[in-house]
Structure 1
Amino acid sequence: MPVTTTRLTRAAGMSAVAAGLLFIVVAVVHPPDDVASVTTTAWTVTHVLGMAMAALALVGISGMYLRQVTRTGRLGLVGFVLFGSCFLLITASQFAEAFVLPYLADQAPGFVSDFLAIPTGGVIVGSVWALVTVNLMTGATYVLGGLLFGVALFRAGILARWAALLLAAGTALALVLPLLPPAVDRLTGVPVGIALAGLGFSLWREQRAAATDPTTGAGASRPEPARAR
């Protein structure tokens, strides 16, 4: 089977669908953020899934951006770079939580406790301000990147607009996390998961239609409509 742009873009769409579903699963089943949970199998599995989610999301949004690069303009570029950077930072964080923290739980429980307190707004005792800075960067790129990328996708009008708006609104919802109880703050990621899955399916369906459209030829991408002047 030859590798074509259409097939690669469809694969990116399915990657976004998988990332969205994993985003929801991780948000729902995440164990409590305490030292006792760090050494459990559930903790490791959850954060391995988080790594997979971030990697698949990066592939998915790359496909979305490249499909609409001429329609999203500078806004789309800035949004893509910021949102993509967020998923790179999430990958590193999930790796540390899956494979580093369990080994430190017995030897340095204070450090592990401080690490877990960073994203939850808990009390930090030790000197982990470099990690605090990384967490702030992750939050900023998540909110700003998701908002700008969602708006750019909505304006491009190629993929599902409801999903693009949900992406923008869902990532902006993270701004109210400090006001929410810990039991529900992770659930604010569910709309973002739904948005990623919806955009991914829209990308897959659009490319599938292009591949079977006899007016464009099998395997060819459907031409974008001309931008109104």
Structure 2
Amino acid sequence: MTTPSSSRARLGAGSLAAAGVLFLLYPLVRPYSDETTLAGAQAMASSAWVAAHLFAVVGFVLLTLGLLALHRVLDRPLTLPAVVVTWIGVGLTLPYYGAEVFGLNVIARRALQEQDASLLALADEFRFGPAAVTMFGGGLLLLGVGVVLAAVAIWRSGVLARWSGVPLAAGFILFLPQFFGSPAIRIAHGGLIAIGGLWVAVEMWRARRT
């Protein structure tokens, strides 16, 4: 018979698995081009640009739900701080993604309409404004800390496989640096998070069946 706690754990496992897949789809679907040119404007104005960034947005939300379920499964001292820190990190990160999804898309469509690539300079004003960069960088740092705390809790728990939290933690530690990599590196990074999310999800699913 399925108990409410096991149902929540399975939903949480599903959330983590889906988050991992979405973080892989994000760099796979995202178009890449020189974003100072009209080709870059074409990329940012595309539906693929919007879809890719929305995949990441939903992935962040599902990550927080998955870590909450992990806290319910393990109930260790580090799991609640992991949830809280990760939620704060996601809250600080998502406004930046809103600008990427909607703001840059509008700018790019206007640049194409006017056939004026110089309008794309506004994208950097969105991205590198002091408040935006501080919130985004701080949010991703907190995300990394939160997922590392979860990985340490997994390692110490004796309930889930010790190494299962390591790929996910590594993926979020590297989330900020991967933005400076090539498309291949960014896709590989998405694959790392997908492996991490799926591995922890499988371990959580097994833990509630035993």
Distance 2:55 2:171 in 1: 21
Q: Distance in 1 between matches of 2:183 and 2:83?
A: 30
Match of 1:224 in 2: none
Partner of 1:102: 105
Report the identity percentage.
Answer: 26
| 1:27 and 1:190 in contact (8 A); partners too | no
Inter-partner Cα distance in structure 1 for 2:125 and 2:52: 20
2:141 paired residue number? 140
For 1:31-180, list aligned pairs within 5 A: 31-32=31-32, 34=35, 35-36=40-41, 37-69=43-75, 71=76, 73=77, 75-105=78-108, 106=110, 109-116=120-127, 118=128, 128-174=129-175, 177=178
Which residue does the alignment assign to 2:4? 4
Question: Aligned-pair RMSD on alpha carbons?
Answer: 2.7
- Bigger Cα displacement from structure 2, 50-59 vs 31-40: 31-40
Unaligned ranges ≥5, structure 2: 112-118
**Structure 2 residue matching 1:148: 3-state secondary structure:** helix
Which residue of 1 is the match for residue 26 of structure 2? 26
Secondary structure at the aligned position of 1:136 is classed as helix
| TM-score normalised according to structure 2 size | 0.79
Name the CA distance, whole Å, in 2 between partners of 1:189 and 1:110. Answer: 28
Matched AA of 1:132: V
Structure 2 vs 1, CA of residues 50 and 152 (structure 1 numbering), >3 Å: closer, same or farther?
same
> C-alpha offsets along residues 74-113 of structure 1, whole Å, 9 cap, x if unaligned?
x333332222323333433333322332223327633213
**Distance in 2 of aligned mates of 1:10 and 1:103:** 39
**Does the CA-based 8 Å contact 1:160-1:198 persist in structure 2?**
no
Segments of 4+ moved more than 6 angstroms = none
Distance (whole Å) between structure 1 residues aligned to residue 178 and residue 14 of structure 2? 29
Cα distance in structure 1, aligned partners of 2:106 and 2:125: 15
The 2-side partners of 1:176 and 1:112 are apart by 20
> Unpaired runs of 5+ in structure 1?
119-127, 211-229
Q: Given the two structures, how large is their TM-score scaled by the length of structure 1?
A: 0.73
Deviation at 1:148, TM superposition (A): 2.1
Q: How many residues are aligned here?
A: 195
Larger CA deviation: 98-107 vs 131-140: 98-107
Q: Quick check: 2:154–2:164 contact (8 Å CA) kept in 1? A: no
